[in-house]
Amino acid sequence: MNLEYFIAKRLITGKEHKISISAPIIKIAIAAISIGVIMMLIAIATGVGLKYKIREKVTAFNGHVQISNYDNNRSEVSVVPVSTNQEFYPKFNDIKGILHIQAVATKGGIIRTEDTFEGVIAKGVGKDYYWTPMEEYLVEGKLPDYDGVLNSDVLISSITANRLKLGVGDSFFTFFLRDDDTNKIPNQRKFNIVGIYDSGFEEIDSKYIFIDIRHIQQMNKWEDDEVGNFEVFLQSFEDIDLKSAEIYNKTISNLNTTTLKDKYYKIFEWIGLFDFNIALIIGIMVIVGGINMITALLVLILERTPMIGILKALGSTNWSIRKVFLYNAAYLIGIGLFWGNLIGLGFIFLQDRFKLFKFPNPEEYYIEYIPVHINLFTILSLNIGVLFLCLLMLLIPSYIITKITPVKAIRFE
């Protein structure tokens, strides 16, 4: 039998443990651990949740990697077409981890109504377009279907619809500038609204409308096999840099690849700060919890000084006695972890299910409610890390046991 564990267990289960002088301090230490764990779980869940949600929204409109021609065009409008006669299209079989690839094209235009007008970027998509990410953001109507003959169905954002005072079933005219110099009369197209989306990402929602890509091909006088660029969706966002390099090596020399992080580098720099904030909160909470446990341990040692003297007189080593108190401290930390996880994970579940807390200024965070995301590995890593670091911090104060002499300890009151 583990003697140190047996003694520690008797100390914990003894009645005098609950009514001792150290009881209030022990409760405070347990509460500090619990509150710290709650704060760390919430910080991780909200920080990671917000980061993932923003990434999902940007990805839904752009894919993870874009393949386009090398040119000097820095706008979001397609200028030089790319042929769809590529080895990687419509299936990118040479590289693992690619979920989908689609051909798109964009063209700037102006929506004109009787009362007002609005500048937009028409994103031309075809039958290969990956609509699944957009289904979450559809708030009215339906998603357009471009699988058959050329049609004038259009999907617009709620921001654009509200500004133009339009709804599902309404029609509007859009004017597109010509790229050639021979005719200055703009192209005019009439579109019918079949759906309205709202991603909460105002920077994107205020720009894009979705139309049949064949409209842009006709206006730009492109062939049927010419598009603006390709968008590639990956199975994992974490592989974006690696897969982008692989895609670049698998394409012909006149094609370039751009990652989502390059296109929206400011946004990804901002959400990259979330990791630092999470690490800072975890560090502070571990230090606070560790200091409270150190205080509790010192009080326990002071209260049990006569016992320490007796154990030393009976031949116990300093390390053996230190282990008794470390077992005791581990038990107290375990109680704090239990209640912290119970309350923290309960809060995260309620927020994920019922969206109880919302941002006061959702336009700054691109989402209305506070998203949460956490996985089992993170929970286990956090608990093991807190337990290990707190016990590591307790090794130094437990060294005071080595300075206690049996004679003085037995007489201690």
Going by pLDDT thresholds of 50, 70 and 90, the confidence category of residue 106 is: very high
Residue 248 burial (10 A CB sphere; 0-12, 13-18, 19+): middle
How does residue 203 score in pLDDT terms, banded at 50, 70 and 90? confident
Query: Residue 63: is its pLDDT beyond 90?
Result: yes
pTM for this one?
0.86
> How far is Cα 45 from Cα 57, in angstroms, rounded to an integer?
18
Contact predicate 329/297, CB 8 Å: yes
**Residue 306: partners with Cβ closer than 8 Å, 6 or more residues away:** 409, 410, 412
Question: Measuring CA to CA, which residue among 70, 95, 36 is closest to residue 339?
Answer: 36
The radius of gyration of the chain's CA atoms, rounded to the nearest angstrom, is 32
pLDDT > 70? residue 78: yes
Q: For residues 309 and 404, is the Cβ–Cβ distance under 8 A?
A: yes
pLDDT score at 176: 92
pLDDT in tens, 273-307: 888 999 999 999 999 989 988 888 888 888 888 88
> Would you call 370 helix, strand, or coil by DSSP?
coil
Query: In this structure, are residues 202 and 58 in contact, taking their beta carbons and an 8 Å threshold?
Result: no
Label residue 181 by pLDDT band (50, 70, 90): low
CA distance 108 to 111: 10
pLDDT digits (tens, 9 = 90+) for 125-157: 999 999 999 999 999 999 999 998 999 999 999
